Chains A and B, each alone.
Chain A
Amino acid sequence: MLDYILQYAVHGYALIVLLSMVLLCVGKYGRIMVWLISIAATAAMAVFFLGNLIQVPHVLISFSGVKNKFMWIVGTMSVMSIIMNGFNSNKQTGKCILIMIYLLFALILAGAGEFISFFIAIISLSIISDLANCLGGDDKRYNAAIKSFISSLMMMIFFILAITFFYMSTGTFSIYEHVVKEESFYLISISLVFLITCYYLGIFPLGICLPNLFNSVEKKNIFQNIIIVRLVIAYNLLMLLQRMIFECSPEMQKIILGGVTVVVLASAIISSIIGINQQQNKKALAYFYMAHSSFILMIVNLVPEEVVERYTLFFMATQAISFGGCAYLMQDLCADGRIQDTANELSGSFYVNSYKSTLYVIFLLCILGLPFTAGFASKYYITYTYFKEGFIVEMVIMLIAFLVMMAYILKMVMNIFTIIPEEIIMKKKTMVVNNFRSDGIMTLLALLMLIGGLTPYLLQ
């Protein structure tokens, strides 16, 4: 019986998504049922992935060690995101179904063995999330989402071109089993995939819409945009790019290595410098996210091994959770935009809501890379790998850029504890609302960041 369930788990999950859409029309009880079913089904999928139990339909996708881990992380995040969404309105429950759809496409993306399914999964994930952002929120948010949507469409055009050139150079769509026949076309294909990866990772200047996205999307969208969609797309593109570069001839690899290094260093330095000049904390965070992404982009210069994939996944998951958690809690502490997220407005938040502020500080310290947090562990693994591979000068430059960023984050941490007058505290206290579900999830994520610092192998 269990074997049967595991064999058709993905089909069953897709069926549940369809069923949920029907149930959504029933009314209040339908909404509650959809919510509960989506939590149960997604949690079950996450558990199956954790135990490497799931048997995926081999026609389209194939799974191996790290990908199961990846799907487990995405599945767990999806469960958390669904719980946070709640079931109070059709819009909220609709988002739960959307998250389930994201998980399905993430599954296709992670297991895609050839370019077409990879492309379908990316375009679906990217465009659905952008459209979802467009549908909710005010004019400012709508404009930011539209910009992001147009950029995504552009990237999809580039992706189609990349696939074309890939086919012209190899004569196949297969990602894993191909032989390069025409190197110039292959190089163009790599350049285009590199461009798209830079966009989704948020490498400067292609990730320039990221600060606006950080700044303008709704509180609940931040979580799913940053943690689920960004992590899923960026990680898989990174792995694809690494695989493609690995298949190149050594001479071409050298050329690509030089190009990637220049882009990475420029992005890390510029993002850090622009970040520290930002007035709004959320925008500064977005630039620091870009600097972090530059750090991980260097991984494409390494040989695609399971250990490198594991470290990358750990780094990106930690990055997504810590930045997502920060952005979410900042929005919470800013009373959903009623308080501006500038340094002055956020100072003394510890006395306004000590619980949320403590969680916020934990996430910030994780970004900072303080020992005994997952931020430190993940950065250490990647830095260690780079050093071992001989990227010493590059790493030193990157670490200097990180130090600049750290000073700003340290300032943000200290700002939270600044003592402010009692009347301002009382005024802000009435505006910041506690929510059992979202606070609980944030606590879990913060604990995960601390556990990841002490027992990093658990999250790898």
Chain B
Amino acid sequence: MENILEYSLHIYFFFPIAIMLLFGIWGNVLGGMVHVATSLTHLFITGLIIFLHKGHALKSVDLTIASFPDLNPGQLVLDGDGPIFIIMISLILLIVSLPRWDMDKRGERLFKVLTYFIVWILCGAVLANNMMGFLMFSEMLILPLAILMVVFCDKNLRNKILLYVVFLAIGTLLSVTSITYLTMVSTGELGVSSLGPEVLKNLITSNKVGSYSSAIIFICLCMSMFIKMTVFPFHFPLLQLCKRMPTFCNILILSSLPLVAVVGMIKLIVPAFTNEMAGASMSIAIVGVLGCLYCTLCALRWNDIKEVVIYFIFGHLSLLMVSIFLYESNTVGGTYIVIFNHLIHVAGMLYVVHVLQDRMKKITFESYGNMKARMPLFNRLFFILIILCLGPPMSSGFISRYMVTIDAVRMNLVVGLFVAACFAICPIYLLRYFQMIMLVKNKITVDDASINDVSAREGFILIMLIILVLTVGIYPNIIAGILG
């Protein structure tokens, strides 16, 4: 038993790989329920590991048995904000595995394999205790996401996918160059050594790097993270892809990439570059506000039901970026609630699009209208979800928006007002969005009998998301509790 306790982090880290192999070998035989069961098991193990971690020190996982010269990917440890992030990863896995996506057996098998590969990479990035380990995992994420896009997207989109992969690779280059330079300053030799958060902090605060150099490195690292986070104005290469890729790809990409970027920002950049963060917070807040306003204006164009949701998510990501830059002045758990809220928005709103698209097979607004009469249960669930997305009191959205706005007001009243305005204009298009789909009578006559209401599975997923939003909204201390 002691051995199990001692090596529980090893078991946790290699669990996704084992499941990946399971689906890789017997993917054609194992059905969707096995996928749900494994994702629930992952969630259970995640809960268990956090519980074990509270009482005992878990043995860290060595990434390599022999370290490279001047390159030490280090160890995987569960400390700091790790528990909250691994819960989020587990939730992403659950949200992705629960629905029945529209794909054939072969695609399903690959999708399962890639999902667990992504989960493994995300776990590695979260648990990594130094820059090198984090870089190795976070940059490796490009590979499964690229395969996912190429396989499941339209063939005409391949050039755009390649462009996006190159764009991500530029981010990788920026990170690697910055860290190589920091290593050079730290050790006097070229390489990518084990720069942990503490070492990095000492390096920057002791002014060994020099103020200009540290500013340039900070910008490079932030750019790399922003590219992953796909915030305004770095969202353009992904925008066209998002509109045309399947919903499950959207969910995986828009949840995993921002999550890994947030982890990088919070674990490595925020603690080390305190002065630079403070200096850049005003500019970032302005860019964030501009990004949110731009996305709102784009969402108001009403092209199709997916586009509105995508712009809503991009707008929210801009404010997530602002919240990270106000991290120091935040109360505990503020940014975590914002990223949690983002994941729920991604999953909830995109799943709604999937449900509608599954029935109508089209995404243009002309095809929708008066869905309330055809799908009464869905109407209620969708309405609750839309309202929760607006951030009313007792929802996680309220907590996250309140914290970002308060921190922005503390920094600068005008910026704070603009941030508040960004939140305030969300209902303009979200309520109209609901109205256009569910209430307004459509021009095209569709046979009502052919459109079914939500199934038990779909209803369960939507209710689960609603409960999650309400739980964090009513009892936000749950985040602080997990963080200890």
Contact = CB atoms under 8 A, between A and B. Distances in A.
B136 A371 contact: yes
Interface residues of A, number: 32
A411 interface: yes
B66 A411 contact: no
B19 interface: no
Contacts of B146: 410, 414
A417 B70 contact: no
B411 interface: no
Interface string B312-330: 0000000000000000000
Contacts of B190: 384, 387-388, 392
B147 interface: yes
A455 interface: yes
Contacts of B165: 407, 410
Nearest to B21: A358
Per DSSP, chain A at the interface is helix
B70 A358 contact: no
A456 B104 contact: no
Interface in B64-79: 64-66, 68-71, 73
Contacts of B150: 414-415, 417-418
Given A350-B110, A388-B189, A403-B169, A417 B151 contact: yes
Contacts of A392: 190
Interface string B95-139: 000000000101100100000000000000000000000001101
Contact of B71 (A354, A384, A454): A384
Contacts, number: 70
Interface in B216-255: none
A351 B191 CA distance: 41
Interface in A390-440: 392, 403, 407, 410-411, 413-415, 417-419, 425
A459 B64 CA distance: 14
Interface in B140-175: 140, 143, 146-147, 150-152, 162, 165-166, 169
Contacts of B64: 453-456
Given A351-B106, A371-B140, A456 B66 contact: yes
B24 interface: yes
A454 B106 CA distance: 31
Contacts of A333: none
Interface in A323-355: 350-351, 354
With a 10 A CB-CB cut-off, give which of A351, A371, A387, A418 has the most chain B CB atoms: A371
Contacts of B139: 371
Nearest to B165: A410
A358 B113 CA distance: 12
B166 A413 contact: no
A455 B68 CA distance: 9
B140 A413 contact: no
B162 A384 contact: no
B66 A407 contact: no
B106 A384 contact: no
B107 A419 contact: yes
Contact of B68 (A350, A370, A419, A456): A456
Interface in A345-382: 350-351, 354, 358, 365, 370-372, 377, 380-381
Interface in B13-48: 24
B355 to A, nearest CB: 24
Contact of B104 (A371, A419, A454): A419
A457 interface: yes
A68 to B, nearest CB: 20
With a 10 A CB-CB cut-off, give which of B66, B70, B152 has the most chain A CB atoms: B66
26 contacts: A354-B24, A370-B143, A371-B136, A372-B136, A377-B68, A380-B68, A381-B69, A384-B70, A388-B189, A407-B166, A410-B143, A411-B162, A413-B143, A414-B146, A414-B150, A417-B150, A417-B151, A419-B104, A419-B106, A419-B151, A419-B152, A425-B106, A454-B64, A456-B64, A457-B65, A457-B66
Given A371-B73, A377-B68, A415-B150, 5 more contacts: A371-B137, A410-B165, A414-B151, A419-B151, A454-B64
Interface of B: 24, 64-66, 68-71, 73, 104, 106-107, 110, 136-137, 139-140, 143, 146-147, 150-152, 162, 165-166, 169, 189-191
